[in-house]
Structures are given as C-alpha cells and as structure tokens.
A and B are shown apart, each in its own frame.
Chain A
Amino acid sequence: MSTQTVLKDRISKIVGEENVSTSLVDLAICSRDLWLPYFFNIVDRKLWKLPDVVVWPETTEQISETIKLANEIKIPVITLGGGAGVCGGISPTRGGIIIDMKRMNKIIEIDDKSLTVRTQTGIIGMELEEELNKHGYTLGHYPLSIYSSTIGGFLACRSAGVLSNKYGKIEDMVLGIQVVLPTGEIIETKPVPRSATGPNLTQLFVGSEGVLGIITEATLRMHELPEERIYISYRLKSVHEGLEAIRKIFRCGVRPAIVRLYDEYDTKLTLRSLGLPAEGCLLILSFEGNSKLVKVEKEITENICEKEFKAENLGEKPAKHWWIHRHDQYWMLPSLLMGKMIVDTMEVAATWDKLEKLYFEIRKVFEKYRVVAMAHFSHFYQEGGSIYFTFLKSKEKGKPIEQTYWNIWNDAMETCLKIGGAISHHHGIGLLKGAWLPKYYGNAYSILADIKRILDPNNILNPGKLGFGGIDEARKIF
C-alpha cells in the first residue's frame, strides 16, 4: 500500500472515512492561498505542490490524534483556515496532511459580564461578528478578508482589522487559547485580563503561523456595539504633514477607529473617483463608541487638523464612501492577473522616527524597478504605524517575471531591515518573507529555532515556514 493509502486509512479511523480525502481536487484546492504565485499557476494552467491528504476534523482531540499519527509516520501537518493569506503560509512544500479547520466553528460561550467570547477557531470572522452583533457586541476586528478568513487564521498571522486604531490587532484581543502542540499534546493558556505569571505563552503561539502549534479555541475580548460612528475627511499638503497630524492626534490619547492617510498617488485615484480635486494627501477618520466621547475625540482631531495643519475639511463623504466601498478596489484584480501582471501588497511598520524614511526609501525601490506603487498608512499607535503599499508591474520582454518579483521583494525587505522597521505588520511571513526573518530577529532567531526544535522534534508542523525553509523553498512555488 502507498503512504497515501495508509494515511487515509489511519486518519479515517480518527475522523471518519467521509472526513478525509486523497482526491486531487481536494488536495489542490486546500493547498493554495491568495499569494501571487498561486494566481500565476492558475492562469498558466499548472498545478502546484500538493499535500498527500486533506482532513476535516470537528474536535480538538481529532486534531491531536492526527498529529500523533503524523509524528509516527514523520509527515508534515499544515493548518488551513480560510485560505485568504497572501504569503504562501499554507503551502505544503514537503507534502503531508492539510487540516481544514472550518468544521471547528462552534461559539462556546459569550460572557456578558466579562465581555469575552470563547470560540473554536475555524469560524469565519464575519460569522462570529454577526453572532456577537445579535447580542449587542462587536469584536472590532474588521480585516478586509473578514468574509473569508477564520479566527484561527487571524491569530496565526497576527492580523489587523481596519478599525485596529481603536480596538487593536488580534493579539490585543486574545486572552487565552487552547493549542495542540506538534507532539499532539493539548494545552490551554488561562483567559485572564492580565497576569504576572512568567512569560506570556499565549503570545508565543499567536503569530506562529501553524509552526509551533494549532490554535483550536480562543477567548477573545469583545466590546459593546458603538452608540455612534461618525466620519471625517481632510486634505493635507503632504505625507509628512499627514503623518505629523496623526502623530499629534495619538499623543493626545485620541483613538479614532479608522485612520487612513493616502500618499499623493493613492489620493489621486481615490479623490478622482469622488469627483474631487486630486491634490495633496487624503486623510480619512472615523470615531465610534460612546456619543459624548466620540464628540470630544472629533473636536480634538478637528483642532489639530484644521488649526495646526490648515487641512481642508472634506466632510464625511470620502471617509464614508471608503467604508461602504472598501472592497471595490479588488474587483479589478482578476483581470490584471489574467494579463500576468505582478499585483501585490507589502505592509511594513516602524516607529515615528523611522516611518517617513521607510516610506520614501521603499518608494525608491519601486522606482528603481519601474513599478507602479501607491501607499496608505492605516494602522497607528502612539509609537508609530504601518505603511501598506500596493504595487503593479507589467511583464517585461526577455525578463522572467519571477526574477523581477523576487528582486523587488529583496530590495524592499533589505531596505526595511536597514532602516529598522518590521518586515510585516499584519500579513505574516509565510513562504514569501521567510528569507528575511532570520535577519529581522538577528541573533535572537536561534531562540525561535530552539523553541521550534524543542516543541516539534520531528519538524511536523508547517515545516519550512517562519524562515525555516529559506528562499529556495519559496521560489519553487512559481
């Protein structure tokens, strides 16, 4: 019997015959995410590296038993959430078992008193949000992939939603988790508001991209639905002035939910579509929560923008329009991809002292490769923020597009490292950025490698990710 047949037979005994498959259709569909090379493969009518088997468990115990089996056979296990990642984080580069988590979608408890929710992690973000809304609550986590990605995916990649300025990133929302370790052992971290009980093990697994464990349940912080949400928009003279205004707003302790500053290129596109003069840099903001607090936050922001920076008040329209139409930009993606155009995004972060430099230096990389690029700054903290570049590049005659793609990423990541920024703010590492992660950590990377070795002696969980596979493993996906 082939390994695949043995695997299917053994896993059937754990999850039932109907919940395991070796069909090529299942293997292909459950092993790709939204990373550009997969799109190119689809357009080129080529398959990609496939796993050996796909499993649909319903309980943590079934995952545990599957992982124990994988250790016995020494075969990789990769976790699939919503498949909406953009870094190749679920690529089964060395074959193995794909665990599709979406049957693990039960909401276990909504605690009205503590404002927390306990849920299995295979639930899609909006499914959880809708249920919370029915009870008068919100998670406040609205990534653009909320309709397709799972809570487990958010946690595995340290996701950020568009309201993160007020509600935080997913790592700020998680109190405790249940994790299946790479040996199959099940552990729990306690859902407490804060603790002084040694290092925070919850945060060790959050962002570990399925490499250190599989997060099967999570207790998350929730909020009362806002009494009011208001929008406001401004035109500032430049990226510099826009960033300075935002820095001052945050220094005052004001926390808008949405803050998006568009650079001159992105502003042109956005304001033109609204029939407004396409000059300067557009800043859109929203405030939400208690009506009285919202009013005060808006007033402080108006003072800073209008009195200190002489910004032009554009009213609520551009901000509200963005919220309602925030997914529209993606409808042009398939046509661009069908023309084999590089269309990708890059999100980096830095403290205020480095943020502007990071933006202009990465812009130089795009200019060097004659790439069309635009950016917005959309997740802010008192200490700094993130930059989100969208870039496009047509195929050039005689130049392999893959080479161009890796050259752009290499130069941009090296630039980011040189300046001292984070090479990812919320998309994660996956295969795409693995080559630069050891440099980002410096000599501390050996600690990450040691943790991996201790927790996962057989290198079962998502091998080759978080920088453990190097650039060669990533390049093979094209």
Chain B
Amino acid sequence: MKLEKYSKQALKCALCLKMCKFVCPVASVVRREPVYPPNKALIVHLIASKLVDIDEESDVLAEYLYLCTTCGLCSTEPWCGLKISMPEIIESARTYLVS
C-alpha cells in the first residue's frame, strides 16, 4: 500500500471539521488531540509533505499510527460524509513507516 495513493484522502480528512472525534473508541480513552482520526490524517499529510522527519519522530509516529484499531467507525455516516477510508490511510502509513 503506497502512502501517495492515500495522501489526497488524508489531506481531505485533515481539512474537515472533526465530527468523527466523538466516535473513535481509542481516542475516547487516550484523550490526546493527535489520536483523534482527522489528526491522524493530518499526521499522514505531514509525513507525505515531508514536514516531519520520520527518523527523528519515529517513536511518536509509530505510537499514534498504531493507536487505531482500524475499526473504521470514523469513516461511516453520519460522522464522515467524505467517503474517507481511515483504515486504509492508517495501514498505508504504517507500511511506509516500517519500510
């Protein structure tokens, strides 16, 4: 799974108004801003835009990208009307990070 394939989706998600924050089962427990789904998309956008050094930030990036069950609840209506596939965005970013 290539990161570039999902970077446009990630950007779109990062520009949304974050309604899906409420339904994320992981974020509702961890309760840190970067863990909420649209911010995970923003993390992917930062990676794709080379705005973060993935070597320097590898621990934090891995932590946040793996703080997702890929349940996809955030990608369902009515929380998401953009047809974003968060599990695929997350999986592609994980693959990129590992490689």
Contact = CB atoms under 8 A, between A and B. Distances in A.
Interface of A: 21, 23-26, 28-30, 34, 39, 42-43, 45-47, 56, 80, 82-84, 100, 102-103, 105, 122, 124, 126-127, 144-145, 147-148, 327-328, 330-331, 333-335, 337-338
A25 B60 contact: yes
Interface in B13-64: 13-23, 28, 31-34, 36, 39, 42-43, 45-46, 49, 51-53, 56-57, 60-61, 64
5 contacts: A25-B52, A28-B42, A80-B33, A100-B32, A144-B17
B66 interface: no
B71 interface: no
Nearest to A40: B15
A337 B56 CA distance: 30
Interface of B: 11-23, 28, 31-34, 36, 39, 42-43, 45-46, 49, 51-53, 56-57, 60-61, 64, 78-79, 81-82
A145 B52 CA distance: 29
B11 A25 contact: no
Contacts, number: 108
Given A30-B34, A45-B51, A327-B78, A84 B39 contact: no
Contacts of B19: 147-148, 327, 330
B69 to A, nearest CB: 19
B33 A83 contact: yes
Given A30-B33, A124-B21, A23 B60 contact: yes
Contact of B33 (A29, A34, A43, A144): A29
A84 B16 CA distance: 10
A26 B43 contact: no
A145 B19 CA distance: 7
Contact of A82 (B21, B46, B82): B21
B22 A148 contact: yes
Nearest to A329: B81
B12 A147 contact: no
A333 B33 CA distance: 21
A25 B46 CA distance: 8
A84 B60 contact: no
B35 to A, nearest CB: 9
Contact of B39 (A29, A122, A334): A29
Given A25-B64, A147-B21, A102 B33 contact: yes
A124 B20 CA distance: 12
A121 to B, nearest CB: 13
Contacts of B20: 147
B57 A127 contact: no
A326 to B, nearest CB: 10
A96 B34 CA distance: 18
A335 B20 CA distance: 18
A83 B33 CA distance: 8
B32 A147 contact: no
A145 to B, nearest CB: 7
Contact of B43 (A25, A122, A147, A327): A25
A24 B46 CA distance: 10
A124 B81 contact: no
A122 B34 contact: no
Nearest to A22: B60
Contacts of A338: 11-12, 15
